[in-house]
């Protein structure tokens, strides 16, 4: 069998990256829609409802059954194994169509579905803990020091940038496109370097390789579109001429 050329390999990799970005974009769209529906329909439990033992509005099961976490599967007694299997079966019955993962709250064995069941509400203690983390986080000036600048090519072929902490070695799979005003999958991402100079001034980067390629792609597409338009115009001209040429023949033939 013939081996792929480097160009073919690159084409396949590009096609795969685009497919994955489109899939991430679709999943993100569904997640957003689901969160919107939960908000509209008041599916989420309030903290008070959760505390009072109101069952999950997604599946009707208790949020917390108080049975404690499952021990590791290999440590289950025979009885626990049967309970576990029964619970798995119940989950499968309730979520036949949901190709989704499951979650449970700590100290509880009942499983909930990522697709049907909104996550449990944040309690006051957790909210306090999170606010503490935000309060103690570094100042905006300090944060600038650790930020990197990334360039992204999105599924719509728009090129955009993103600033994020240097610890992150990749960017999230879906970001908002400022041009389209829609969340788009990221097809390519590239770290350009520090987002700010030592003086805290936003760093600038010249046209990078990816931006150049994206611009080239856009201009090639535009050229193709114009050629197609011309071809369409030419073919309708040809059709028109053909019709005119056929007219006398039809007249002669039918009469
Ligand atoms: Zn549920
Ligand atoms: Zn489900
Ligand atoms: Zn766009």
What tens-digit pLDDT sequence spans the chain (255 residues)? 688 899 999 999 999 999 999 999 999 999 999 999 999 999 999 999 999 999 999 999 999 998 888 888 788 899 989 999 999 999 999 999 987 788 999 899 999 999 999 999 988 888 888 888 888 877 777 778 889 999 999 999 999 989 998 999 989 999 999 999 999 999 999 999 898 888 888 887 766 666 666 667 777 777 788 777 777 777 777 777 666 666 544 433 333
pLDDT at 186: 97
Q: What is the pLDDT of residue 246?
A: 60
Distance 51 CA to ligand 3 centre (A): 44
Ligand 3 centroid, distance to 100 Cα (angstroms): 29
User: 110 C-alpha vs ligand 2 centroid, how far in Å?
Assistant: 13
Give the residue among 91, 92, 94, 117 at the shortest CA–CA distance from 105: 117
CA of 19 to the centre of ligand 3 (A): 16
Query: Minimum-distance ligand to the CA of 175?
Result: 3
pLDDT of 210: 61
Q: How much distance in Å is there from the Cα of 48 to the middle of ligand 2?
A: 24
Phi-psi region of 119 (alpha: psi -120 to 50; beta: other; left: phi over 0): beta
CA of 230 to the centre of ligand 3 (A): 27
* Structure-token pair, residue 143: 């944060």
Q: Quick one: which ligand is closest to 91's CA?
A: 2
- Distance from residue 215's CA to the centre of ligand 3 (Å): 13
> What is residue 221's predicted lDDT score, i.e. its pLDDT?
79
Q: Write down the pLDDT at residue 206.
A: 66
Ligand nearest to the CA of 154: 3
Quick check: 37 and 43 in contact, CB under 8 A?
yes
Per-residue pLDDT, 223: 78
Whole-Å CA distances, 249 to 241, 242, 245: 13, 11, 8
Give the distance (Å) from ligand 3 centre to CA of residue 25.
12
Q: How far is it, in rounded angstroms, from Cα 193 to Cα 162?
A: 11
The side-by-side arrangement of strands in the sheet containing 182-194 is: 159-165, 147-154, 182-194, 174-177
Q: What Cα–Cα distance (Å) separates residue 124 from each residue in 11, 135, 156, 223?
A: 52, 16, 41, 59
Which pLDDT belongs to residue 152?
Answer: 94
Residue 141 is encoded by which pair of tokens?
Answer: 């000036």
**250 half-sphere exposure, CB direction, 13 A CA radius:** 6
């Amino acid at each position: 069998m013939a081996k792929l050329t480097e160009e073919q390999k690159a084409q396949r990799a590009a096609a795969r990256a685009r497919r994955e970005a489109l899939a991430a974009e679709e999943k993100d769209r569904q997640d957003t829609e689901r969160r919107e529906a939960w908000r509209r329909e008041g599916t989420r439990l309030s903290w008070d409802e959760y505390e009072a033992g109101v069952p999950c509005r997604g599946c009707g099961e208790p949020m917390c059954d108080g049975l404690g976490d499952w021990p590791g599967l290999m440590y289950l007694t025979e009885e626990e194994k049967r309970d576990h299997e029964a619970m798995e079966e119940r989950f499968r019955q309730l979520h036949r169509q949901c190709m989704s993962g499951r979650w449970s709250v700590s100290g509880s064995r009942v499983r909930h579905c990522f697709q049907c069941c909104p996550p449990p509400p944040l309690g006051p203690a957790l909210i306090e803990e999170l606010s503490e983390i935000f309060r103690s986080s570094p100042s905006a000036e300090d944060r600038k020091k650790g930020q990197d600048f990334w360039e992204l090519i999105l599924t719509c072929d728009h090129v955009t940038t993103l600033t994020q902490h240097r610890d992150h070695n990749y960017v999230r799979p879906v970001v908002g496109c400022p041009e389209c005003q829609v969340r788009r999958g990221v097809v390519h991402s590239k770290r350009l370097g520090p987002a700010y100079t030592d003086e805290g001034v936003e760093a600038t980067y010249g046209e990078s390789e990816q931006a150049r390629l994206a611009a080239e792609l856009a201009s090639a597409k535009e050229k193709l579109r114009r050629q197609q338009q011309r071809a369409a115009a030419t073919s309708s001209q040809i059709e028109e001429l053909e019709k005119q040429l056929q007219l006398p023949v039809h007249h002669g033939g039918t009469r």
